[in-house]
Amino acid sequence: MGLLSKKDAKLITDPLADNNPITIQVLGICSALAITAQLKASIVMALSVMAVLAIGNVVISLMRNIIPSKIRIIVQLVVVAALVIVVDQILKAFSYELSKTLSVFVGLIITNCIIMGRFEAFALANGPWRSFLDGIGNAAGYGLILVIVGFFRELLGSGTLLGFPVLGDPIEKTGLYSIGYENNGFMLLSPMALIVVGIIIWVQRSRNKELIED
């Protein structure tokens, strides 16, 4: 007996590949590019967005019958802003250096198109449990792309993963560096994030021919 019915499980698995918020729905791109130079920052950002999106989806879904249509954008903005303030304060309290790395982009979760997009497209029309799952699913899809981009950027850019040197020590010239390998510092610069996402889109659309646009 599974915890989730088939339809509900689809809410989580769809955004991971076929309906990925970043590569298919084209939402949430800003933060996906700017902070992915380190894998740790990517993971923390993905978890923050997951928290805000899941809880926000539930809150909006619970209120969906009492929000007047004219002010629904304002209500959504207030809910998201409040949640982001909480997340920001938690980050500042428990991991100050990381919150400095993420700096402005934690605040920009408010305008992260995924959150408003899912509120409009799903939470306003569905019950709280399904909205929660939808939030988790979309945030997982978003997080997947962030982690992939962060993985390659950190590995190729500084030879470390989550801060641990995995290719050897560049100063002592151990591991891979002993045969003359050098870190590709370019990967740490922001334009490479755009190109890595472009390549991810290329791979995804080559595997799934239906996604190709004309």
Partner 1 sequence: MEHVELFLKSIFIDNMVFATFLGMCSYLAVSKKVTTAVGLGAAVIFVLAITVPLNWLLDQYLLQPGALKWLGDDYADYDLSFLSFIMFIATIATMVQLVEIVVEKFSPSLYNSLGIFLPLIAVNCAILGGSLFMQSREIPSLGLATTYGVGSGIGWFLAILAIAAIREKIRYSNVPPALRGLGITFIITGLMAIGFMSFGGMLTGGDEPEVTKGTNVQEGDQEPPQVKLKENDSNTNTVVSKDLSMANSIKVNE
Q: Which residues form the interface with partner 1 (CB under 8 A)?
A: 23, 26-31, 33-34, 73-74, 77-78, 81-82, 84-85, 88-89, 103-104, 107-108, 110-113, 116, 185-186, 189-195, 197-199, 201-202, 205-206, 212-214
Min separation Cβ 138 and partner 1, Å: 14
Residue 202 Cβ vs partner 1, minimum distance, rounded to whole Å: 5
Cα torsion 147, 81, 194, 37: sign: negative
Left if phi > 0, otherwise alpha if psi is -120 to 50, otherwise beta: which for 39?
alpha
Burial of residue 106 (CB within 10 Å: 0-12, 13-18, 19+) is: buried
For residue 30, give both structure tokens. Answer: 């800003």
Contacts of 114 (CB under 8 A, 6+ apart): 21, 25, 27, 28, 49, 53, 138, 139, 142
Distance between alpha carbon 12 and the CA centroid of its chain, in Å? 14
Residue 33 or residue 54: which is nearer to partner 1 going by CB? 33
Which residue number, 62 or 74, has a Cβ lying nearer to partner 1? 74
Give the shortest CB-57-to-partner 1 separation in angstroms: 16
Rounded to the nearest whole angstrom, what is the least distance from the CB of residue 163 to partner 1 in the complex?
A: 20
Contact predicate 183/158, CB 8 Å:
yes
Report the SS3 class of residue 96: helix
The residue (of 16 and 30) whose beta carbon lies closer to partner 1 is 30
Q: Toward partner 1, which CB reaches closer, 89 or 178?
A: 89
To partner 1, the closest distance from the beta carbon of 99 in angstroms equals 12
Query: 12 or 83: whose CB is closer to partner 1?
Result: 83
- Shortest distance, position 86 Cβ to partner 1, whole Å: 10
Nearer Cβ to partner 1, position 20 or 133? 20
Query: What element of type H or E holds 201?
Result: helix 190-207
109 phi and psi angles, rounded to 5 deg: -60, -30
